[in-house]
């Protein structure tokens, strides 16, 4: 059985949909801005599901009114990291919420090898399972190609 038939990781919102166009991304950003969320851009080359904290690309963008500002920053991130995963993250600062409320991937490397399941035989008949991203077999900086 293939565990990754489409060779795309699925994390965050819209990840089962085709890539969002920039116009669609703008609409999502505007939706968030209308609710007072602060958008930020994060990137990584290790898409392991437990890799929660990606690198920040610049500061979170507070006090924006229009999607064009976020899109401007996104384009510059895509130019800098064309072969990384890039996601847009919306932070809701409302008291009591104070957490990330939207997150979706907006850029992927051209090749996504996916994950392998590693079985470690423990004591007795115990087996411990772990996920291993094939992409991390290569050192940082060479993972995109």
Q: What does the buried/exposed string (b/e) look like for 83-118 if buried means 16 or more CB atoms within 10 Å of the residue's CB?
A: ebbbbbbbbbeeeeeeeeebbbbbbbbeebebbeee
The answer to whether residue 70 forms part of the interface with other proteins (CB under 8 A) is yes
- For other proteins, the closer of residues 2 and 127 by Cβ is 2
Of 72 and 118, CB closest to other proteins: 72
Q: Which residue carries 């409320």 as its tokens?
A: 101
Part in contact with other proteins (CB under 8 A); list of ranges 20-28, 46-54, 94-102, 123-131: 20-28
64 near other proteins, rule: CB under 8 A = yes
Pseudo-torsion of CA 28, 6, 111, 141, nearest 10°? 70
Scanning 44-52, 62-70, 113-121, 133-141 for contacts with other proteins by CB under 8 A, the matching segment is: 62-70
């Amino acid at each position: 059985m293939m565990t990754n038939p489409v060779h795309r990781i699925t994390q965050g919102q819209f990840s089962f949909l085709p890539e969002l166009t920039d116009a669609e991304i703008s609409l999502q950003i505007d939706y968030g801005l209308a609710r007072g969320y602060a958008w930020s851009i994060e990137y990584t080359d290790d898409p392991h599901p437990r890799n929660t904290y990606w690198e920040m690309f610049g500061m979170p963008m507070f006090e924006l009114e229009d999607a064009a500002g976020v899109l401007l920053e996104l384009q510059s991130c895509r130019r800098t990291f064309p072969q990384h995963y890039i996601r847009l993250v919306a932070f809701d600062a409302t008291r009591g919420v104070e957490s990330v409320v939207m997150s979706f991937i907006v850029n992927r490397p051209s090749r996504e090898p996916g994950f392998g399941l590693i079985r470690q035989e423990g004591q007795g008949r115990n087996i411990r399972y772990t996920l291993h991203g094939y992409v991390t077999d290569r050192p940082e900086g060479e993972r995109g190609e």
